[in-house]
Amino acid sequence: MVDVTPADAVPPAEVGEVELYHPHSWWTKYVFSQDAKVIAVQYSATATAIGLVALVLSWLMRLQLGFPGTFDFITPEAYYQFITMHGMIMVIYLLTALFLGGFGNYLIPLMVGARDMVFPYVNMLSYWIYLLAVLVLVSSFFAPGGPTGAGWTLYPPQAIMSGTPGGQDWGIILMLSSLILFIVGFTMGGLNYVVTVLQGRTRGMTLMRLPLTVWGIFTATVMALLAFPALFVACVMMLLDRVLGTSFFMPAIVEMGAQLQHNGGSPILFQHLFWFFGHPEVYIVALPAFGIVSDLISTHARKNIFGYRMMVWAIIAIGALSFVVWAHHMYVSGMNPYFGFFFATTTLIIAVPTAIKVYNWVLTLWRGDIHLTIPMLFALAFIVTFVNGGLTGLFLGNVVVDVPLSDTMFVVAHFHMVMGVAPILVIFGAIYHWYPKVTGRMLDETLGKFHFWVTFLGAYLIFFPMHYLGLMGVPRRYAELTDMTIMTESAHHLNSFISIMAFVVGFAQMVFLFNLIWSIRHGREAGGNPWRATTLEWQTPQTPPAHGNFGKELPIVYRWAYDYSVPGAKEDFIPQNVPGDFAPSREPA
């Protein structure tokens, strides 16, 4: 090895040392800040706030499903609006924004050893456009006719017709505009995340020394940059159909006895564009979660990640494959059976790299020194939930199984398990893990344990029974289920039970929010590296990291991110910026 001490090392070709923007006033420091860490907190706070709206919407839906006929204010139209906004907010404005805008902004510069993102001004713009998108979205609640009720997939022709809430009012226009803004804002942020990983890495930080968190967020961002344009195109074209009367997606149609001016458009074209974005979106949310959970497990089991190279390759493979599976969301659209066969095959192939990742997480735990800290609990819960949701994905990936199940609660249970609960569990784990770095204080342990157990068990009690409802044939998207022969008395009881559990789990989130706010002032002092972790963000001179992250000199990286329990080393972890030779750690693969 080349032994170079930081003192006589050639100073690395600095990124942005000259151009690093220094704030001059309170406004530019905390509000219009160009510091990625502040932007990250802004992104996270906005995403959490709008996420709470979506949480309340899900309660309202559960009130209607669990106790039909009891609440007069939940009309079928209102129910559809709740469904649509809940789905759209959770998938795009919460999960995407929080993983990439929140964790991406905070962790990428710190983990690769950069002072900031490479284009800080564009990064700031990205947040403000995201905020604008959120405000446009929220404004649709107050627009005449209310928000759109077209379902989160916004399928035309129904999305822009008068029978759908918001279809001929402001709802759909505001929804589409908000999405277009979101995509513009995200592209600005995404450029930053990608180019910072490419160009902002400090000396010694090769790609294969990056923590898996960075690999996950990086790959997800590349995918998002290539997938969001499809949604952009779909939104622009639908907006033209709705506002200027073009016929991109709208076929000739008779509404209330009157022939509409549209003619000859193809709703299937919209579905192709939407799912060309929509499927990669699943992995845009999942890959950062995969990366983060790898780091949580390795750190809290005090053991190097098993099969690091395989993990990296699997992330890349999943990213590439996810672009050729989109039509598995369209099995019921009447497609050519050969296409169905092709897309079922590619869908099932994705299970291979995904399964490799799951095995590697489990093998990392094997004979590790497992500390059941709260981040670790959430990581373990993620593995279980993700396997569960992934297995039902294998069911639904097959055309013959999907066709009868497609319109039932089974699908709702599947995607909530795999892309709702699983990534959210990782987000919670990540917040418990990195909160000490962001604030300098630990979150309260007791409240955290309470939050974990109620959330994990509660989420299971909500979504596991839904599989059975789906197998019984209970349809999704229906506001009123009372008079159906499918709805036996036991199914009604199950629905009421699910609704009550939804309230219990929602309450636990309030406890979590309280913990977040309370601990800023009253939490236990954390110190710089409370988890004794190896990655660079824990090696900053100040906690929380100051502007510029690393003090006078950037760290120099001498090893990979997973040197835990190295035989012969004094401590059970060796930070990435510590030079010196030790016997090679146990070989992972």
Partner 1 sequence: MSVILVFLLVIAGFAGWWLSHQRLTAKPWLEQGLAGDFVGFDRSALPTAKIGLGVFLAVVGCLFSLFTSAYFMRMGLPDWQPLPLPRLLWLNTGVLVLSSVALQCAVVAARKGQIDNVRLGLATAGFTTLAFLVGQLMAWRQLTGDGYLLASNPANSFFYLITGVHGLHILGGLVGLGRTSIGAWNGARPERLRLSIELCAMYWHFLLFVWLCIFALLAGWAATFIDICQRLLT
In angstroms, give the least distance from the CB of 266 to partner 1. Answer: 6
Which of 40-48, 246-254, 400-408, 528-536 is the region at the interface with partner 1 (rule: CB under 8 A)? 246-254
**Amino acid of residue 373:** T
Torsion, CA 313, CA 314, CA 316, CA 317, rounded to 10: 110
Closer CB to partner 1, 253 or 500, in the complex: 253
Determine if 159 is a binding residue for partner 1 (CB under 8 A).
Answer: no
Q: Which of 125, 240, 472, 481 binds partner 1 (CB under 8 A)?
A: 240
Structure-block tokens of residue 552: 């006078």
Element (H, E) at 258: strand 258-259
Closer CB to partner 1, 106 or 249, in the complex: 249
Residue 367 region by backbone torsions, left for phi larger than 0, else alpha for psi between -120 and 50, else beta: left
Q: How many angstroms separate the CA atoms of 187 and 183, rounded?
A: 6
In angstroms, give the least distance from the CB of 472 to partner 1. Answer: 36
**Amino acid of residue 418:** V
- The CA–CA distances, whole Å, from 69 to 65, 311, 487 equal 9, 50, 15
Q: Which residues of 409-419 are buried (b: 16+ CB within 10 A; e: fewer)?
A: bbbbbbbbbbb
Determine if 498 is a binding residue for partner 1 (CB under 8 A).
Answer: no
Which of 133-141, 191-199, 330-338, 519-527 is the region at the interface with partner 1 (rule: CB under 8 A)? 191-199
- Of 184, 156, 186, the closest CA to residue 273 belongs to 156
CA 258 to chain centre: 43
Q: How many angstroms separate the CA atoms of 147 and 169, rounded?
A: 9
Residues numbered 5-44 forming contacts with partner 1, rule: CB under 8 A: 9, 12-13, 15
Which of 219-227, 387-395, 396-404, 453-461 is the region at the interface with partner 1 (rule: CB under 8 A)? 219-227
Closer CB to partner 1, 413 or 566, in the complex: 566
Q: With beta carbons less than 8 A apart as the criterion, state whether 549 and 116 touch.
A: yes
Determine if 269 is a binding residue for partner 1 (CB under 8 A).
Answer: yes
In angstroms, give the least distance from the CB of 204 to partner 1. Answer: 4
Closer CB to partner 1, 263 or 490, in the complex: 263
CB count in 10 Å sphere of residue 572 = 13
Q: How many angstroms separate the CA atoms of 304 and 574, rounded?
A: 11
Determine if 187 is a binding residue for partner 1 (CB under 8 A).
Answer: yes
Closer CB to partner 1, 211 or 423, in the complex: 211
Closer CB to partner 1, 29 or 272, in the complex: 272
Closer CB to partner 1, 209 or 433, in the complex: 209
**Amino acid of residue 92:** I
Determine if 3 is a binding residue for partner 1 (CB under 8 A).
Answer: yes
Residues numbered 71-130 forming contacts with partner 1, rule: CB under 8 A: 118-119
Name the DSSP class of 485.
Answer: T
Residues numbered 220-239 forming contacts with partner 1, rule: CB under 8 A: 222, 225-226, 229-230, 232-233, 236-237
Q: Which of 558, 565, 573, 575 binds partner 1 (CB under 8 A)?
A: 558
Q: How many angstroms separate the CA atoms of 39 and 29, rounded?
A: 10
In angstroms, give the least distance from the CB of 357 to partner 1. Answer: 16
Please, which residues bridge with residue 112 across strands? none
Q: Which of 91, 560, 573, 575 binds partner 1 (CB under 8 A)?
A: 560
Closer CB to partner 1, 7 or 244, in the complex: 244
Applying CB under 8 A, what is the total number of residues that bind partner 1? Answer: 73
Q: Which of 37, 86, 209, 416 binds partner 1 (CB under 8 A)?
A: 209
Q: Going residue by residue from 394 to 423, which x/- string records binding to partner 1, judged by CB under 8 A? A: ------------------------------
- The CA–CA distances, whole Å, from 373 to 367, 432, 449, 493 equal 17, 9, 9, 36
Name the DSSP class of 477.
Answer: S
Q: Which of 53, 132, 195, 351 binds partner 1 (CB under 8 A)?
A: 195
Residue found by looking up tokens 């420091």 in the block: 29
Q: Which of 162, 259, 261, 345 binds partner 1 (CB under 8 A)?
A: 261
Residues numbered 333-372 forming contacts with partner 1, rule: CB under 8 A: none
Structure-block tokens of residue 453: 């157990």
Residues 6 or more apart from 492 whose CB is under 8 A from it? none
CA 471 to chain centre: 28
Residues numbered 282-311 forming contacts with partner 1, rule: CB under 8 A: 304, 308-309
